Structure 1
Amino acid sequence: MDKKVIAIGALGGSGTRAVAKIVKESGVFIGDELNGPLDNLIFTRLFKNPKWNKKAAISDINFRLSVFEKYMKGEKLDFRSFYELLKVAKSNKLSPSRYNFYFNVLKRRAILEKPRDVWGWKEPNTQFYIKEVLDYFPDLKYIHVIRNGLDMAFSTNKQQLHNWHWKFNIGKDFKNKESFNQLDLWIRSTKKVIKIAQEEKYKNRILILNHTALCDNPKEEIDRIIDFCGIPLSQEKLNKLYEIPGDKGSNDRYKNYDLSIFDSEQLKFVESMGFNLNYKK
């Protein structure tokens, strides 16, 4: 297989775990530091840091991407990269580290593995670095998962809203407008991805994946993922992948809530993204 880098991002809770599992089972190494939802915790430690992001220059971001690349490809970490990763792990309060993490980093400092040509990661916060990762990794393809914006609005997972609201000029009135603001974040972040995907320099490098479609038509959507990634698989392997989406989970959660808190333009945009809504207009 040719050199490939696959990244998966979204608003937290969008169903990226199933997509990560599909990519992983297709033979793509997605990391040895993963949590239950298959988030790559090396990326989390390096980049899930709003305070750092506000001050970071593109050179700072690119350096951390170089550290991440060396770790993921199995290259030996030079001292500067080694120190940066340890420093980040200790200072990033949003991502506490266990002892085995430090062992793995030490191993990367001492051991040179056979470099990987096919690798990737899943981490929802990747969406806030789309341009940077696309520009840094010329072979990278990015999968952006979108779940029904109204289901996301009423999700209990609002960490990205609290961390990154300032990037989209969203107010901090979370107590009284949390669901409204969460939908606003979903809309603005989705529009950003669409805009970037339309740029000529990123043509054919971004796939926007509808989570409802993945659950309802797994064969069609998984074929799209595999074709987008350019991974040759046997029909037997594909048949196993088709079984992964399975449970729709919290789809249609929004039907249990009052939608009058949202404005008509918000609801229209949700529908324009392919989600059929059951509400009184």
Structure 2
Amino acid sequence: MSMIEHGPDPTQAPIAVGAIGGSGTRVLARILKGAGVFMGTRLNESEDNLDFTDRFRHREVLALPDPAFQARLRQFEGLSRAGMRAAGQQRWGWKEPNTHVVIERILRSYPHMRYVHLLRSGLDMAFSANQRQAWFWGPHFLERPVAEPPGPRDMLAYFCEVHRRISTVAARPENRDRVLFLQYEALCARPEAEIARLMGFLGLEPAEPVAALAALIAPPASIGRHREHDLSVFDPADLAYLERTQPAP
């Protein structure tokens, strides 16, 4: 059989959510579920889609030949669409922070899909206790060893590298209007406006009022936590990158 026969259906228009772990993606999954999107059958307490995790959160996936990658994606699509039909819904998607690691290949497979990358303050993320993703993928993306657990300097370096890579993917002509950067702090500060922007990007008309979806958001006390730390530990180049690329919420 050809590679195409083993691949996913390119007519599908899934919605994917990714981020660095600890960015607050759980609330996005709940908002999308409230907007009528089927987000998966096997979800953990963080609303991560475990069918996606099982197939794609492995270092080996980075080197998978395209037919093998497409076969995994087709399996995942089949499970997702079956669950969507059983739930009586018409759109499907998933939330799994590690999605960004393979999003370039997935976007090529689904010309009509939309990807939402949730951004939280890079400085706050540098002091996050959720360090697994930076440890797991950091050596690949930073092309150097990363301590276990990573320190704040490595955490910020990883954040900046992920942002550079997704920004490059989003800027390609074939991905125009297909990738949305959503700032977590802005979502907390202006929930109704940011949810309306999200719904517009995804082409969704939620059955629930936007105000009801906004009520799902509870700003955490950890916003701004970097102010309690010494920022001199960071690479000046990473701080300069943040200054240029992360708008004030």
Mark yes or no: TM-score above 0.5.
yes
Q: What is aligned with 1:69?
A: 77
Note closer, same or farther for the CA distance 1:197–1:54 as it changes in structure 2 (3 Å cut).
Answer: closer
Q: After superposition, what is the alpha-carbon deviation per residue over 1:120-149, rounded to whole angstroms, capped at 9, x for unaligned?
A: 000000000111111112221000001011
State the identity %.
Answer: 33
For the pair shown, which has the larger CA radius of gyration, 1 or 2? 1
Q: Distance in 2 between matches of 1:215 and 1:59?
A: 41
Q: CA deviation at 1:25?
A: 0.4
Residues 39 and 121, structure 1, Cα contact 8 Å, conserved in 2 = yes
Q: Say whether 1:31 aligns with 2:3.
A: no
Letter of the structure 2 residue corresponding to residue 22 of structure 1: I
CA contact 1:3–1:117 (8 Å) conserved in 2 = no
Contact kept, 8 Å, 2:38 with 2:91, in 1: the verdict is yes
**What is residue 259 of structure 1 aligned with on the other side?**
231
For 1:269, the aligned partner's letter is Y
Displacement of 1:57 in angstroms is: 1.2
Structure 1 residue 241 corresponds to structure 2 residue 249 = no
Q: Is the 8 A contact 2:116 2:180 kept in 1?
A: yes
Contact map agreement 1:134 1:140 (CA 8 A) in 2: yes
- Is contact 1:149-1:183 (8 Å) kept? yes
Unaligned runs of 5+ in 2: 1-10
Q: Is the 8 A contact 1:4 1:117 kept in 2?
A: no
Gaps in structure 1 of 5+ consecutive residues = 76-111
Q: TM-score, normalised by structure 1?
A: 0.78
Aligned pairs for 1:59-138 within 5 A: 59-74=67-82, 113=86, 117-138=90-111
Deviations, residues 26-83 of structure 1 (Å, cap 9, x unaligned): 0000011001110000000111111x224311221111000000000008xxxxxxxx
Q: Given the alignment of the two structures, is residue 187 of structure 1 paired with residue 196 of structure 2, yes or no?
A: no
For residues 99-130 of structure 1, what are the alpha-carbon distances to aligned partners after superposition, in whole Å with 9 as ceiling and x for unaligned?
Answer: xxxxxxxxxxxxx9588641000000000011
Which one-letter code corresponds to 1:66 in the other structure?
R
Distance 1:61 1:122, change over 3 A: same
Residue in 2 aligned with 1:197?
170
Q: CA deviation at 1:4?
A: 3.6
Kept in 1: contact 2:13–2:110 (CA 8 A): no
1:274 and 2:242 correspond: no
Deviation at 1:172?
A: 1.8
Instruction: Give the whole-Å Cα distance in 2 for the aligned partners of 1:16 and 1:233.
Output: 19
Q: How far did 1:268 drift?
A: 2.3
1:161 to 111, 123, 134: 134
Query: CA RMSD of the aligned region, Å?
Result: 2.3
Change over 3 Å in CA distance of 1:273–1:147 after alignment to 2: same
Asked if structure 1 preserves the Cα contact closer than 8 Å seen for 2:195 and 2:214, the reply is yes
2:16 maps to which residue? Answer: 7
Shift of 1:240: 0.3
Q: Is the partner of 2:151 in helix, strand or coil?
A: helix
Q: What is the CA–CA distance in structure 2 between the aligned matches of 1:173 and 1:71, rounded to whole Å?
A: 35
CA displacement, residues 187-242 of structure 1 (integer Å, 9 cap, x when unaligned): 010111111111000110000011111111111111110001101135x5211012
Q: TM-score, normalised by structure 2?
A: 0.88
Instruction: Map Cα deviations across residues 148-181 of structure 1 (whole Å, 9 max, x no partner).
Output: 1111111111111121113313422416962111
SS in 2 for 1:120: strand
CA–CA distance in structure 2, aligned partners of residues 198 and 204 of structure 1 = 9
The size of the alignment, in residue pairs, is 238
